Structure 1
């Protein structure tokens, strides 16, 4: 009598996969929070249409699917070694990787257009040269990223050969798409650096303290960090084209692409939220001071109730002074003084001389 034994199904999540998810999960959480606050703040402060808010909203609509499909591709095997996967698992994981790449490219484009729109909104009408430069950069970014998507989608005939090379067909645009990828990476790296350093020329001429200028410039300069991810991602292209461990190498490529997208989205959302954060901190400070004042006032009232003779009138004088009808009255008065958020105790001494006639 024979029994059939079914081999246990191998897990596709392995290799660097768990680290890819664990190391990047905080980025979309923080990004969604900041963009949501940014959209709420933009809706409250202005009734006009703000293009930076529109572009960042579109960026978020594309960034979330990009991360979801990236996570799903990792679950299917990206980041794992090909020797641990079946052919069908390899092809399916790479298919979802390409979907994540396409949506991520569009998300990154929209986020950078949001930065350009924000910079255009603070330019004076007579700054024609500056406005032309920003408009030109936006046009170049749009043309470059859209062209990259079109080239990649038409690289192979049929399209499924893009992730499954065993399917009969051909790839007429493979070389053109690969070469253009280097140009696309260089343009995006330049744009990240330019857009992060450009606001420094605006802020440095404003009437603000030197400390505020330095802090703001440092914050904006941190926007060049995504350019590092772009450069590393671009250098990995050649390795991917000749890789014998495609799923594992795609993991590093997708890590750089994910960091590029979410870091530029997060960093670019911090400066527009500064007024909102200052408003919150101001309210929190006022609430804290109000509670502190209330507690001190209550303590003062309780002390007064326990000691009804808080104001002590001590009458000092010699018999001769009393008989002559002159009374020297010394009064010690404790006064609570509140001014803004400062509380003080002021002790005053009043000396009154009363001339009285009569007998006591």
Structure 2
């Protein structure tokens, strides 16, 4: 019995589009902050290139879903499957590319901070990480199109030819996902050693380490994506990959977008400081006004509730008002300043 004809492609489109738009806004603000308060560096150019790659990947996702990605393969025609797989594989290529250059950007950001420092080991580790990320992901991208002979058979399974065993493809996917998660966790731990010897306040060290250590979130996404992708490419799920791979693709898309977003948050501090300062000042003024109002209300209640003082207070207030009414000139502008001086000041 066939499963119901449903399309879960919307999960991929919603997850990747929302996170891409958010990442795009944050990266653009990062570029503005660099232009206004510093200068654009190679790390910024790499991140902007990663955004461009992610945009192409998102467009490919829409085209793949439009051709049937997200539906069970049994309901797809032979004409739908080749363009579906073509856009799906192309989207994965640009997705991996975006993730690659986002991580290289993070490594270059660390190297930018480490420039001229004595932490040679950390500089070497960041450089090696960037090179390995590029090498591993490039091998995975090549495998998308080298696994079949002829190449077109990679996205057109009805063509005659041969392909690598499914276990080889699954192994490469798990390798790339595991390595991606490992590098995410490593890059999120680097700030602990990076800012240890910096001559800045303890508060700023904690804030910077916290912001740059958010990369652990992308490590979690990479772990989930690896598990989902591995399950969708093994056993009975492999024969229905147009449906079963949706969640793995969704996690991969969100991973790349969140990596770009989180990596671009620390450079936003110069833009955020005026807003934070204004918000803090407004909140302090509000709290001060509230405390003053509470003190006034407590004082008024104490005066009203004091026994034996009600009548005398009223008598005192009446007498005070009468005194002011009797000598109203004592508080007038004419009495404080001579008429001529008043005329001069008005002019």
Q: Is the 8 A contact 1:78 1:250 kept in 2?
A: no
Rg comparison, structure with higher value? 1
Q: Does 1:274 align with 2:269?
A: yes
Question: Which residue pairs with 1:58 in the alignment?
Answer: 49
Q: List aligned pairs for 1:1-360, cutoff 5 A.
A: 14-47=6-39, 50-125=41-116, 126-172=118-164, 176-235=168-227, 236-242=229-235, 243-282=238-277, 309=332, 313=336
User: How far is 1:157 from its partner?
Assistant: 1.2
Q: Secondary structure at the match of 1:135?
A: helix
User: How far is 1:146 from its partner?
Assistant: 0.8
Q: Is the 8 A contact 1:200 1:217 kept in 2?
A: yes
Instruction: State how far apart, in whole Å, the 1-side matches of 2:148 and 2:52 are.
Output: 28
Cα deviation digits, residues 187-224 of structure 1 (max 9, x gap): 11111011112112233444555444444333333211
Q: Is the 8 A contact 1:230 1:260 kept in 2?
A: yes
Q: What's the TM-score, normalizing by structure 2?
A: 0.73
* Greater alpha carbon shift after TM alignment, 276-285 vs 14-23: 276-285
User: How far is 1:50 from its partner?
Assistant: 0.7
RMSD: 3.0
Q: Secondary structure at the match of 2:7?
A: coil
Cα deviation digits, residues 323-355 of structure 1 (max 9, x gap): xxxxxxxxxxxxxxxxxxxxxxxxxxxxxxxxx
* Greater alpha carbon shift after TM alignment, 258-267 vs 199-208: 199-208
Q: Is the 8 A contact 2:15 2:250 kept in 1?
A: no
Instruction: State how far apart, in whole Å, the 1-side matches of 2:104 and 2:35 are.
Output: 19
Instruction: State how far apart, in whole Å, the 2-side matches of 1:52 and 1:228 are.
Output: 24
Question: Which residue pairs with 1:4 in the alignment?
Answer: none
Greater share of strand: 1
Q: Is the 8 A contact 1:17 1:74 kept in 2?
A: yes
User: How far is 1:176 from its partner?
Assistant: 4.4
User: How far is 1:111 from its partner?
Assistant: 0.3
Distance 1:197 1:140, change over 3 A: same
Q: Is the 8 A contact 2:11 2:250 kept in 1?
A: no
Q: What's the TM-score, normalizing by structure 1?
A: 0.70
Question: Which residue pairs with 2:289 in the alignment?
Answer: none
User: How far is 1:283 from its partner?
Assistant: 7.3
Instruction: State how far apart, in whole Å, the 2-side matches of 1:310 and 1:214 are.
Output: 58
Distance 1:51 1:311, change over 3 A: farther
Greater share of helix: 2
Q: Is the 8 A contact 1:79 1:252 kept in 2?
A: no
Cα deviation digits, residues 220-240 of structure 1 (max 9, x gap): 332111122222222223532
Instruction: State how far apart, in whole Å, the 1-side matches of 2:120 and 2:61 are.
Output: 41
Instruction: State how far apart, in whole Å, the 1-side matches of 2:163 and 2:85 are.
Output: 17
Relative contact order (C-alpha < 8 Å, sep 6+): which is higher? 2
User: How far is 1:70 from its partner?
Assistant: 1.1
Structure 2: 5+ residue stretches without partners:
284-330, 338-347
Q: Secondary structure at the match of 2:245?
A: helix
User: How far is 1:285 from its partner?
Assistant: 8.3
Q: Is the 8 A contact 1:55 1:114 kept in 2?
A: yes
User: How far is 1:124 from its partner?
Assistant: 4.5
